Amino acid sequence: MIVIGGKGYELMLDHKDGWNPEAFRGRYSEVLDRYDYIIGDWGYSQLRLKGFYRDNHPKVNRDTAISGMVDYINEYCNFGCAYFVLHKLKELPKEGTFKDILIKEITEPGTEEQSLEESSEPSATIREQREAPAKSSTNHSPERNKDGGASSREHNGKDRPVREHQSRNHRNKDTQGKKNHKESQGRQHNHHSNHSHNQASNPPQNPSN
């Protein structure tokens, strides 16, 4: 027995495994509750449902009589399609004996929380893996700065004696150049004074004498 909306049905025919409770739940409408039979056929991966009456039903007509089921399948359904036929039973199912296929299963809270935790674990692992390279890069940056600062200080320390030595040499050269210039001026002055003294001590002789 199959319970649909609190009423019992019998699966009379299941051609090519056409019966699918999940698909039936998605396509079912309360309008079908009035019919004695329900035929479901598949076409282009879509399930179609149609209701039929028993032949002696007061509301039956040519298109809704179950006796015309074969003509309906041959004329309105895809050739060779999968289909099924449900027959409504007069007896009502006992409560708790069968499960109504229109009622979706309610997942337990513990199971749902566990599934959420399991789904969140991969994302947390991915975040940890992404954060690890970032932390390692930030940890290495101070070391690089320290090494760079030490190397620059060493380079500056090495250059300082060279610059001081060059400045001392430059000052020594300037001092030596000034000293040589003064000495040359003194020699020129002495030579000029000696020349003048010689001229004064030796006056020119008179050519008439």
Does 140 reside within a domain? no
**In percent, how much of the chain has pLDDT > 70?**
49
Cβ neighbors of 181 (< 8 A, separation 6 or more) are: none
pLDDT > 80? residue 159: no
Which structural domain, as residue segments, surrounds residue 55?
Answer: 2-104
Does 144 reside within a domain? no
**103 pLDDT tier (thresholds 50, 70, 90):** confident
Contacts 24+ apart (CB under 8 A), 118-125: none
CATH number of domain containing 48: 3.50.4.20
Does 169 reside within a domain? no
Does 207 reside within a domain? no
Number of domains comprising the chain: 1
* DSSP annotation of 160: H
Rounded Cα gap, residues 3 and 21, in angstroms: 11
pLDDT > 60? residue 102: yes
Does 186 reside within a domain? no
* DSSP annotation of 60: -
Does 109 reside within a domain? no
**Distance, first Cα to last Cα, the chain:** 175
pLDDT tens for residues 25-74?
Answer: 999 999 999 999 999 999 999 999 999 999 999 999 999 999 999 999 99
Q: What's the pTM?
A: 0.50
Does 174 reside within a domain? no
What are the phi and psi torsion angles at 58 (to 5°)? -60, -30
pLDDT tens for residues 161-178?
Answer: 545 555 565 565 556 656
Does 76 reside within a domain? yes
When mean pLDDT is compared over 43-57, 104-118, 178-192, the highest value belongs to 43-57
* DSSP annotation of 66: G
